[in-house]
Amino acid sequence: MTAASVQGVAPRGLRGAVGLWTILRRLLRRPEGLIGMVILLVFIVLAIAPQAFVGQLQTAVTATGHRLEPPSGVHLLGTDELGRDMLNQTVHGARISLVIGFLATVVTVAIGVVVGIVAGFVGGWLDAILMRITDFFLVIPTFVLALILTPIIQQLVGSAATEVFGIRMTLIVIVIVIGITSWSSTARIIRSQTLSLRERAFVDRARVIGAGGGHIMRRHILPNVINLIVANAVLTFAGAVLTETTLSFVGLGDPFQPSWGQLLEAARAAGAPGLGAWWYFVPPGAGIVLVVLAFTLVGSALDDLLNPKRGRRR
């Protein structure tokens, strides 16, 4: 029996009977899945090409309005304290918030999947050590830990003006902080499924033909937890956007690359709530609420599709 034949008899999660496209079609047939995907598609398009909709990001030099102008035909969402168009700022802020959320989710899921699969498959003392570390990150609130780590890491990495792939180091730090503080729940979920998979017949057959632990984890365990990874990544994305928003709101963001959280912090600093300038803080706030709602709806729909028992219990 060859390794290929062993893998052929293994269940393949999303690559098997269901398939990624089948899951997508079934997701779009569910009301909550369709609504969530439509909202996400709108914001993704805005984030990919904000210049096509609102032009270049306005600065204090290129501002086109006066201080805190209310919504009008010229400025549909009003202006901020520098006269910058709030529609322009909000659309460009979508790119920063979604990019940070995406990168942070990649880091979070990568750490969680590696820790979960290794701990669940290897077991023994390594499992015990990894799970104690995981428990440490589980019991400490993510935001509190991120609030402590962010200024420390910013001091270590140096100048905020440094860019990596066009992203300023201040934002890279936020991505790293969110990633290293949010992976524990993913690791727990993946470990639980790995403990079940390692006892399956196809894993035993792989061992019999001499497949190593790394090969089994990569070719047999990982493909069969993809469904959990996808569903968990969707909800992780929503949490990452909220964490970034909160960190930016308390002044740990980058004012030169405004995210929605940074816009809310700027509105607070300008006294917009007290001045009745609702158009300053409502647009970025609405963007955050809509994106988190969309990811929550899609995550819930995916959970029902990939976990039928949960759907029947409702």
Residue 2 lies in a domain: no
> Would you state the pLDDT for residue 285?
93
What are phi and psi for residue 72, nearest 5 degrees? -150, -175
Residue carrying structure tokens 């609405």: 286
Which residue spans within 157-307 are E strands per DSSP? 163-164, 167-168
| Structural domain for 135, as ranges | 91-307
61: Cβ–Cβ under 8 A, 6 or more apart, which residues? Answer: none
Residue 100 lies in a domain: yes
Sign of the CA dihedral with 198 first, then 199, 200, and 203 last: positive
Residue 28 lies in a domain: no
Residue 44 lies in a domain: no
> Would you state the pLDDT for residue 290?
94
| pTM of the model as a whole | 0.81
Judged on CB neighbours under 10 Å (0-12, 13-18, 19+), 167 is middle
> For residues 68 and 78, is the Cβ–Cβ distance under 8 A?
yes
The rounded distance, in Å, linking the Cα atoms of 21 and 106 is 21
Residue 127 lies in a domain: yes
> Would you state the pLDDT for residue 141?
80
Max Cα-Cα span within the chain: 75
Q: What is the CATH number of the domain that holds 275?
A: 1.10.3720.10
Query: Of 172, 178, 40, 171, nearest to 104 (Cα)?
Result: 178
Residue 57 lies in a domain: no
Task: Return the structure tokens found at 225.
Answer: 């937890």
Task: Return the structure tokens found at 57.
Answer: 């990001």
Domain count, the chain: 1
> Would you state the pLDDT for residue 307?
66
Task: Return the structure tokens found at 188.
Answer: 């727990």
Q: Tens-digit pLDDT profile for the chain (314 aa)? A: 444 444 444 444 444 434 567 777 888 888 888 999 999 999 999 988 889 999 898 888 888 888 899 999 889 999 999 999 999 999 999 988 888 889 999 999 999 999 999 999 998 899 999 999 999 888 888 778 888 888 888 777 765 556 655 567 778 888 888 888 889 999 999 999 999 888 888 888 888 888 888 888 888 888 888 888 888 888 888 888 888 888 888 877 777 778 898 899 989 988 888 889 999 999 999 999 999 999 989 888 887 777 655 544 44
Q: How far apart are the first and last CA of the chain?
A: 44
Q: What angle do CA 109, 191, 127 make, to 5 degrees?
A: 110
Residue 114 Ramachandran class (φ > 0 left, ψ -120 to 50 alpha, else beta): alpha
Residue 201 lies in a domain: yes
> Would you state the pLDDT for residue 173?
84
> Would you state the pLDDT for residue 60?
85
Residue 71 lies in a domain: no
The rounded distance, in Å, linking the Cα atoms of 40 and 20 is 18
